[in-house]
Amino acid sequence: MAHTRKQVAGWTAATIAVLVFALFPVFWLLMLSLKKPSTLNDGRLIPSSWSFENYKSIFQQDVFNRALVNSIGIALISTVIAVVLASMAAYAIARLEFPGKVLILTAALAIAMFPPVSIVGPLYNLWRNLGLFDTWPGLIIPYMTFTLPLAIYTLSAFFREIPWDLEQAAQVDGATPGQAFRKVIAPLAAPGMFTTAILVFIFAWNDFVFAFALTSTKNAQTVPAAIALFPGASQFTQPTGSIAAAAMVVTVPIIVMVLLFQRRIVAGLTAGAVKG
């Protein structure tokens, strides 16, 4: 379908408009992060003088470094647990017929869709009583509520793509069901597991509500929560520059990862939608 010049121009204009709308805040943040702290409120978008002072200062603070460590650790552990558990569940769901299968799936989906904001209150109390407040497990466990359903759904779509004949051939060849899974199915599902891991990691990394409500100190505070509580230079100044710099540090890796693996991510989300 050939596009006329006018059409191409029109589409380009529209695309630019959307891009600007979506990326402007990010661009603004980037500019803010590169400004000298003293020029933060001078009303200019592009800094008059560039400086990495904001970046230096956040890394000097223990708060941010610990928050980074917490974020990476908690997100990674959540991802690993979610993918391992979900692959077992997804395998069962894709292969077997058992009573309550639909119920389990529906329940998982319902739990994932439940607004986190409404459960943080009770969860806060519960965690304080159990001593899980401000700990890594204290965040990893609630993260399971949305990472597991997401992982199960994505992975079962991948598993369904793998023909059952292969496991049967493996069994006839002398494999136990466990060996059949490890040697035949898992290698074939590896791309699916990888994609699921990426998706889950992004969700866990970006979470704010749980992190903010269930942590208080550098023991377990993740970056989104930490940024919100950045101390300023004095009681009256906003730590805008530090926030901007921290936000950049936290967002850029994710953007890079998404750009690198975007094809896989789309494949993961649409797997099983169309046969073949």
Partner 1 sequence: MAEIEFVDVVKRYPDGFEAVKHMNLEIRDGEFVILVGPSGCGKSTALRMIAGLEDITEGDLKIGGEVVNDLAPKDRDIAMVFQNYALYPHMSVRDNMGFALKLRKEKPEEINRRVTDAAKVLDLEQHLDRKPANLSGGQRQRVAMGRAIVREPKAFLMDEPLSNLDAKLRVEMRAAVSRLQQRLGTTTVYVTHDQTEAMTLGERVAVMRAGILQQVASPRELYENPKNLFVAGFIGSPAMNFFAGSIEADGIRTPMGTIPFADELRRRLEQHGSGSRQAIVGIRPEDFEDARFAPEGHRGWTFDAHIELTESMGSEIYAHFDFEETEQLEAEELRELQEDAGTADVPQSGTSGHAVARVDAASEVRPGATARLWLDTNKLHLFDPSDGSSMTRPKEAEPAVA
- Judged by CB under 8 A, which stretch of 46-54, 104-112, 170-178, 241-249 contacts partner 1? 170-178
- Judged by CB under 8 A, which stretch of 52-60, 179-187, 203-211, 226-234 contacts partner 1? 179-187
Q: In whole angstroms, what is the distance from residue 16 CA to residue 6 CA?
A: 15
The nearer residue to partner 1, 134 or 161, going by C-beta atoms, is: 161
Of residues 108-167, which lie at the interface with partner 1 (CB under 8 A)?
163, 165-166
Q: What are phi and psi of 229, to 5 degrees?
A: -110, 20
198 binds partner 1 (CB under 8 A): no
170 binds partner 1 (CB under 8 A): yes
Q: In whole angstroms, what is the distance from residue 88 CA to residue 194 CA?
A: 15
Q: Whole-number minimum distance, CB 237 to partner 1, in Å?
A: 58
Q: How many CB atoms lie within 10 A of CB 135?
A: 17
Instruction: Please say whether the dihedral angle defined by the alpha carbons of residues 144, 260, 252 and 12, taken in this order, is positive or negative.
Output: negative
Decide: 58 and 242 in contact? Cβ < 8 Å.
yes
The nearer residue to partner 1, 118 or 176, going by C-beta atoms, is: 176
169 binds partner 1 (CB under 8 A): yes
Instruction: Please say whether the dihedral angle defined by the alpha carbons of residues 59, 63, 69 and 71, taken in this order, is positive or negative.
Output: negative
The nearer residue to partner 1, 39 or 171, going by C-beta atoms, is: 171
Q: In whole angstroms, what is the distance from residue 83 CA to residue 237 CA?
A: 43
179 binds partner 1 (CB under 8 A): yes
Q: In whole angstroms, what is the distance from residue 264 CA to residue 252 CA?
A: 19
171 binds partner 1 (CB under 8 A): yes
Task: Kindly determine how many residues on this chain lie close enough to bind partner 1 according to the rule CB under 8 A.
Answer: 17
Q: In whole angstroms, what is the distance from residue 261 CA to residue 269 CA?
A: 12
- Cα 98 to chain centroid distance, Å, stands at 32
Q: Whole-number minimum distance, CB 267 to partner 1, in Å?
A: 17
Q: Quote the DSSP letter at residue 173.
A: T
The nearer residue to partner 1, 43 or 99, going by C-beta atoms, is: 99
Per CB under 8 A, the list member of 174, 234, 236, 276 interacting with partner 1 is: 174
The nearer residue to partner 1, 92 or 188, going by C-beta atoms, is: 188
Q: Is 35 helix (H, G, I), strand (E, B) or coil?
A: strand
188 binds partner 1 (CB under 8 A): yes
Binding footprint of partner 1 on the chain (CB under 8 A): 163, 165-166, 168-176, 179, 183-184, 187-188
